[in-house]
Amino acid sequence: MGKQLGFLVDSERCIGCHSCEMACKNYYQLHPSLRRRKVHPIQENDYSMPERNYMSLACNHCVEPECMRVCPVGAYSKRDDGIVMHDPSRCIGCKMCIMACPYQVPQFDPEVKKVDKCKMCAQLIDKGEKPACVAGCPMEAIQIIDITSFNKYGAVKLLPGFPNPSITKPSVRFIKPTIGKQIRRDK
């Protein structure tokens, strides 16, 4: 496998503030219903103690993207660096990709009647800049990594609630939230 860019999402640093999501919307001035990045709450009972933890997800730029496989018009393509691109000029809005993606990443843009999704700000990456979500995170909780060479102690392939990665091999890695000590009055 050559290069495969992906997001490293540090859920220990993440404070669920939605700045990443809004930085993306701001950069592209998206339709209100389009959320190319979404900050998902992790269920309280998924960890030993109730906490407010989040998993910020955009397109996972899968190694084996289902969206690309099912698209009848070849609107999807994969760049050499692994970014999954979507070409709206080819898209016919059939929504096959929306049904196929385990992560509910492609969304239907009601204004242009086509699918819309995160392209990792490929045009910025090509200029050596950071994607809008990465640049817009106040906690520096999102990074771009090349998963073929990425090897960080403690990084994991899934967090609670994240769909099974074996289907499409998503190019996302996570740092797990640490659960601090709590002195509670309900114990």
Partner 1 sequence: MDKKISFNRRTFLKGAAAASAGLAIGSSTSSFNLTGLKPADAAGDNKAQVFRNACPRNCYDTCAILSHVEDGVIKRVSGDPGSTYTRGILCAKGFSYTRRVYSPDRIKYPMRQKGRGSGNWQRISWNEAYTEIAENILKIKKEYGSTLPICLDKYSGNFDIMHYGIEGMMSSLGYTSRATGTPCWPAGIDAQTFDMGTIISNDPEDLVNSKYLILWGVNPAWTSVHSMYFVKEAQEKGCKVVVIDPVLTQTASKADLYLQIKPSTDGALALGMARYILDNELYDGNWLHNNAKGYEEFFGYVKNNITLEWAADKTGLPKAVIEQLAREYATTKPANIWIGYGMQRHTNGGTNVRAIDALAAITGNIGKSGGGAQYAHLQTWGFNYHAMMQNPPEGTEGGGDRAINMNNFAAEVLAAEDPPIKMLWLACRNPMAQDPETSVMRKAFEAMDFVVTVDQFMNATVEMSDIVLPTTTLFEAPGVNVSYWHWWLYLNEQAIKPMHEAKNDITIAMELSAKLNELKPGSCTFPTSGDLEEWVGKEFNDGIYQMFGINHWTDLKKGPAKAKNSQVAWKGGKFQTPSDKYEFYSEEAEKFGHHPLPIYVEELKTTDKYPLRCISPHWKLNIHSQFQNLDWMESINNEPRLEIHPSVAKEYGIKDGDSVKMFNDLGYIILPAKITGTVPIDTVVTYEAWYKSKDFNVNYTVKAIPADMGKKATGMPGIAFHDNFVNIEKV
Contact 60, 38 (CB under 8 A): no
Smallest separation (angstroms) from partner 1 to the CB of 3:
28
Candidates 150, 176, 174, 172; CA nearest to 65 is 172
Cβ nearer to partner 1, comparing 18 with 78: 18
Contact residues for partner 1, defined by CB under 8 A = 12-13, 15-19, 21-23, 25-27, 29-33, 35, 39, 44, 49-53, 109, 111-112, 135-140, 177, 180-186
Q: Tell me how far, at minimum, the Cβ of 36 lies from partner 1, in Å.
A: 12
Looking at the Cβ atoms of 127 and 185, the one nearer to partner 1 is: 185
174 neighbors 9 (Cβ within 8 angstroms) = yes
Instruction: List the beta strands (DSSP E) in 36-136.
Output: 38-42, 53-57, 76-78, 84-86, 107-109, 114-116
Q: Of the two residues 22 and 167, which places its CB atom closer to partner 1 in the complex?
A: 22
Q: Cβ of residue 14: shortest distance to partner 1, in angstroms?
A: 9
Of 42 and 101, the one with the shorter C-beta distance to partner 1 is 42
Query: Based on C-alpha coordinates, what's the Rg of the chain?
Result: 17
Neighbouring residues of 142: CB distance < 8 A, sequence distance ≥ 6: 7, 8, 9, 10, 20, 56, 133, 134
d(CA 99, CA 81) in angstroms, rounded, equals 25
CB of 122 to partner 1, least distance (A): 18
Minimum gap (Å) between residue 78 Cβ and partner 1: 27
Cβ proximity to partner 1, 66 vs 109, nearer residue? 109
